[in-house]
Amino acid sequence: MKAKVVSLCAVLVLLCVSGQAAERKKRVAVFDFDYSTVRTYVAGIFGTDVDVGKGISALLIKRLVQDGTFSVIERAQMDKILTEQNFSNSDRANPNSAAKIGKLLGVDAIIVGNITQFGNETKNQGVGGGGGGWGGFGLGGFKHKESKAIVTLDARIVDIDTAEILAVADGKGESSRSSTSLGGMGGNWHGFGGGTVDFGSSDFQNTIIGEAVKGAVDQMSTGVIAGAPKLSARKINVEGVVAFVESGKVVLNVGAKAGVKVGDQMTISRVSQVIKDPTTGKVLRSMATEVGKIEISDVDDVSAVGKIVSGAGFKVGDVVKTVTQ
């Protein structure tokens, strides 16, 4: 009897483990952070307008990928959709605008955020409502007075169906050292141009502002990861038909608006018999036979292209179905 109980427990454990293994990671897209509040200070530091929001986003993506809790969408795929939808910088922190893009990307949630302080420890409430500045001396320092660097950030995880904020995370980083310049005690920092900065480079992270950025992103990342249980994995039933077949590629009449995304596996079937109610003529059931599978390689709003994984002889009008997992 005891042996049977032990065996039953072992089976239950295996079933639970199998269920957990089958559960996919929550898929998210990280938008470039809005830095409009600190734009004046950024220009003062670098001597020109630098998109520090893109740098913060890149660091957050790196942390999330390293942690492995989320599946993070590729930057190139997101940029393509953003360009097609004319997504502007002013929409970066707007949950409603970002949620619309999230649906096209086929993610479970999107992450938007703001940079609320990017400068030194002396706050200047007269510009943008807050944040730290470098006294307008940028790279050269500020009147030979030593100061620490401070960076503060906030992020929100947003449901793409309702634009509801599911979780929030804050981050504050402060340099452990003081200096009279941006590159203070950081060696030979260089490397900004074209409006961008490589926040991931060791040269930048060795500066006091780079040290503060790293601390803020690390703290914020921990909060974002802690919010993962508040996300639900979306299941989207997609149905459509084959519109065109040529040279090993299959074009479908459904795309991103229906929930199709790159990498989806889709089953293609052919209706072999339609059963109708003999009294009303109403279709009761369609009998179909699977003819193969495809994997989606390209998507736009209303169509998708798939490469053949298995099967042959696909025809226009064949039925395509999938559950996005």
Distance between CA atoms of 86 and 80, rounded to whole angstroms? 10
In sequence order, what are the residues at sequence separation of 6 or more whose Cβ sits closer than 8 angstroms to the Cβ of residue 17?
A: none
Q: What is the pTM of this model?
A: 0.66
Specify the amino acid at residue 307.
K
Q: Name the DSSP letter for residue 19.
A: H
Taking residues 36-45, what's their average pLDDT?
Answer: 89
Of 169, 152, 170, the closest CA to residue 209 belongs to 152
Is-contact 162 75, C-beta < 8 A?
no
Extended strands (E) in the chain: 26-30, 70-72, 109-120, 149-159, 165-174, 192-193, 196-197, 236-246, 249-252, 265-276, 283-299, 304-311, 319-324
Quickly state the pLDDT bin for 263 (edges 50, 70, 90): confident
Q: Which DSSP string corresponds to 78-117?
A: HHHHHHHTT--GGGTT-HHHHHHHHHHHT-SEEEEEEEEE
- Across 119-128, 141-150, 235-244, least confident range: 119-128
Quickly state the pLDDT bin for 66 (edges 50, 70, 90): very high
Tokens of 79: 């940029």
Taking residues 243-247, what's their average pLDDT?
Answer: 92
| Whether pLDDT at 63 is above 90 | yes
Of 115, 124, 110, 143, the closest CA to residue 52 belongs to 115
Q: Which domains does the chain have, with CATH numbers?
A: 25-230 (3.40.50.10610), 236-324 (2.40.10.410)
Would you call 262 helix, strand, or coil by DSSP? coil
Distance between CA atoms of 175 and 298, rounded to whole angstroms? 44
Quickly state the pLDDT bin for 199 (edges 50, 70, 90): confident
Quickly state the pLDDT bin for 306 (edges 50, 70, 90): very high
Q: Any bridge partners for residue 153, and if so which?
A: 115, 171
Is-contact 295 273, C-beta < 8 A?
no
Q: Name the DSSP letter for residue 228.
A: G
Find the helix or strand (DSSP H, E) in which 8 lies.
helix 2-22
| Whether pLDDT at 308 is above 90 | yes
| Whether pLDDT at 285 is above 90 | no
Q: Any bridge partners for residue 169, and if so which?
A: 155
